[in-house]
Amino acid sequence: MKNLRMRVLTSLVVLAAAAWFFYPLYPYPFEGVRLKLGLDLKGGVHLVLRVNTDDALRLDTETTMEQLREAVDGKGISGAVLSVVTPTQFKVEGVPQSQDGAFREAANEVQASFNRESGVAGTYTFSMKPNIIVQLREDAVTQARQTIERRVNELGVAEPVIAQTGANNDQIIVELPGISDVARAEEIIRSTALLELKMVEDGPGGTKENLLQSRNGAIPNNMEVVPGAADSSQRGDRAETVFYLIRKVAVVTGRDLRNAKPTIDENGRPAVSFSLNQDGAKKFGKATGENIGRRLAIILDGRVQSAPVIEGRISDEGRISGGSFTQQEVQDLSLVLRSGALPASLTYLEKNTVGPTLGADSIRSGIIASAVGLILIVVFMLVYYKLSGVNAVVALGFNLAILLGLMAYIGATMTLPGIAGFVLTMGIGVDSNVLIFERIKEELAAQRGVRQALDAGFSRVFLTLLDTHIASLISAAFLFQFGTGPIRGFATTLSIGLLSNLFTSTFVSKTIFELVLSGRKVQTLSI
């Protein structure tokens, strides 16, 4: 008797806890149903991007090569030609025999992360070490993820999801619930926002040929030609592209940035002002102090935004203006500059937008399907198992309540396939009752008393139920491994439903039988 009271109490406490988790009545005012909804139900955008880690490798290879070039020049080695072969490889040709020793010395000073191979006639191949490649790739993805995180946070999206994924772990999932301007969010996430300040050697010129005329069309080794928009003072109505000859080594880059915010330039047009950190300010101050009267190029993503003449030593302030920005653009540009440059470009692999109405439709049809499924099953159980059917229906009610409560408690996400898992839990849930009831019928037919039949029914079927539930959980676990967002929601719902079903069909259902039969002498069972 005492035992029975404990069982009833346990069942009710579990039910009450589940109800509370799902719909907490405290704190006041009530927040309503506390169940996380997936993107497919509440609307939003789901993006999958791949980080092109080759970019980061190529950048490192180029930087190392440029450093080697400077060291080679410094030692007065002439005739060596350096070029990048692949993102992880560069080669040096034509090192004079007599200066071979000096070259090796220079190479040893500069590159620790490359393997050097010497070929015929003063040729050297530098290949990035495999462990460095792996490291750089990992760093690039991690950095990209952190940068995107900062950008998304600045966008002010509630409960975003940002995670790494993919076979090579080089993809990033971004989920932004309830966002309306998808195109803008996409642009902000994707823009590389690589800011570089470099010294202008020559220009601007209207064409590349004009620019290089005085140098017989050859670009010096340590320089590059970068396109940019013509300054508004020089151009007519249409935007013209001009070219600058620019020193490859940057004075400062976006890494040295402390802050960036929207402002207006001297003509009252939208612009972005930035300030540099200590390190950057030191470098910037030195460079501007030494180059008064020359032009400084402000380059964003490989395009010169403006190239003002340095009028005096500037330490830690700068401005990006080109006259063609809109208010929205300078806001977004400040945002991406503040959050840092991406270490590599991104490719969109997948984009999934769910409007709020579509999500609401899904919730509505999910509720209707659940209701119809529930009615069908309840009617069947009542007709087929009569009063014992009532027992099964009550147990099913417990099962579904615990399912929702547990999901709310562990913070699992309900998705559209999750609703399918919910409906499926009803159908699979009563299976356990069916197995137990059929066994009880068998035991009754074998001329046992009601009580013995009940006990035998529950105890003999228990192991079978354990086996069937574990079998289903095994495939649900692999499903969880396989899937992303919505599918995981399904696997989670199904698994929790299976676990709670094991409890309700054996413990709760048995308790109800005992409660009804307690203290009575029964000859027959309505089953």
Partner 1 sequence: MQIFHNPNYDFLRWRWHALILSWIIIAAGIGVIATRGLALGVEFSGGTIVILEFDTTPTIDQIRSALDAQKVGGGGQNIVVQRYGSETARQVMVRLPHSGEEQGTSLTRTADEVVKAVKDANLGGFKQVGSQVVGPVVGRELTQKGLWATIFSLLGLLVYIGFRFRLSFGVGAVVATFHDLLVTLAFLAFFRYDMSLNVIAALLTVTGYSTNDTIVIFDRVRENLRGMRRDAIGDVVNASVNQTLGRTVITAGTVLMSVIALYLFGGEVLKGFAFTMIVGTITGTYSSVFIAAAIVTFWRGKNAPRVPAAAAADVAPKKKNGKRDRA
Residues 336-355 contacting partner 1, CB under 8 A? 347-355
Residue 433: which of 364, 362, 369, 507 has the closest Cα? 507
Residue numbers 419-438 binding partner 1 by CB under 8 A: 419-420, 423-424, 426-428, 430-431, 434-435, 438
Check binding of 327 to partner 1 (CB under 8 A): no
Binding-site string for partner 1 from residue 462 to residue 501, where x marks contact by CB under 8 A and - marks none: -xx--xx-xxxxxxxxxx-xxxx-xx--xx--x-------
Sequence letter at residue 458: F
Question: Within 13 Å of residue 269, how many CA atoms lie on the same side as its CB?
Answer: 11
Check binding of 445 to partner 1 (CB under 8 A): yes
What is the closest distance, in whole angstroms, from the C-beta atom of residue 240 to partner 1 in the complex?
24
Tokens 């079903």, located at residue: 501
73 CB neighbour count, 10 Å cutoff? 14
Is-contact 343 193, C-beta < 8 A?
no
Please say which residue, 40 or 196, places its beta carbon nearer to partner 1.
40
Check binding of 387 to partner 1 (CB under 8 A): no
Check binding of 264 to partner 1 (CB under 8 A): no
Tokens (6 digits) for 138: 């990992």
Check binding of 30 to partner 1 (CB under 8 A): no
d(CA 55, CA 234): 35
Degrees to nearest 5, angle at CA 102 with 100 and 105 = 110
Among 368, 387, 410, 522, binds partner 1 (CB under 8 A): 368
Residue numbers 148-177 binding partner 1 by CB under 8 A: 166-167
Please say which residue, 19 or 487, places its beta carbon nearer to partner 1.
487
Is-contact 83 97, C-beta < 8 A?
no
Please say which residue, 213 or 347, places its beta carbon nearer to partner 1.
347
Tokens (6 digits) for 131: 């462990």
Residue numbers 42-71 binding partner 1 by CB under 8 A: 48, 50
Please say which residue, 122 or 497, places its beta carbon nearer to partner 1.
497
Q: Are strands 36-37 and 413-414 parallel, antiparallel or unpaired?
A: parallel
Site size with partner 1, rule: CB under 8 A: 75
d(CA 374, CA 168): 44
Sequence letter at residue 336: V
Please say which residue, 4 or 372, places its beta carbon nearer to partner 1.
372
Please say which residue, 470 or 522, places its beta carbon nearer to partner 1.
470
Among 112, 120, 158, 383, binds partner 1 (CB under 8 A): 383
Please say which residue, 120 or 445, places its beta carbon nearer to partner 1.
445
What is the closest distance, in whole angstroms, from the C-beta atom of residue 180 to partner 1 in the complex?
12
Check binding of 86 to partner 1 (CB under 8 A): no
Residue 47: which of 195, 155, 140, 136 has the closest Cα? 155
Q: Which stretch binds partner 1 (CB under 8 A): 142-150, 238-246, 383-391, 449-457?
A: 383-391
d(CA 181, CA 285): 40
Check binding of 361 to partner 1 (CB under 8 A): yes
Please say which residue, 116 or 386, places its beta carbon nearer to partner 1.
386
What is the closest distance, in whole angstroms, from the C-beta atom of residue 490 to partner 1 in the complex?
5
Check binding of 125 to partner 1 (CB under 8 A): no
Q: Which long-range contacts (CB under 8 A, 24 or more apart) does 476-482 make?
A: none
Sequence letter at residue 361: D
What is the closest distance, in whole angstroms, from the C-beta atom of residue 403 to partner 1 in the complex?
14
179-197 as b/e, with b when 16 or more CB fall inside 10 Å?
Answer: beeeeebbebbbbbbbbbb
Please say which residue, 278 or 475, places its beta carbon nearer to partner 1.
475
Check binding of 459 to partner 1 (CB under 8 A): no
Q: Does an H or E element contain 197, and which?
A: strand 195-205
User: What's phi and psi for 387, nearest 5 deg?
Assistant: -65, -35
What is the closest distance, in whole angstroms, from the C-beta atom of residue 342 to partner 1 in the complex?
14
What is the closest distance, in whole angstroms, from the C-beta atom of residue 367 to partner 1 in the complex?
9
Residue 347: which of 55, 137, 138 has the closest Cα? 55
d(CA 247, CA 225): 9
Residue numbers 179-198 binding partner 1 by CB under 8 A: 183, 186
Please say which residue, 230 or 392, places its beta carbon nearer to partner 1.
392
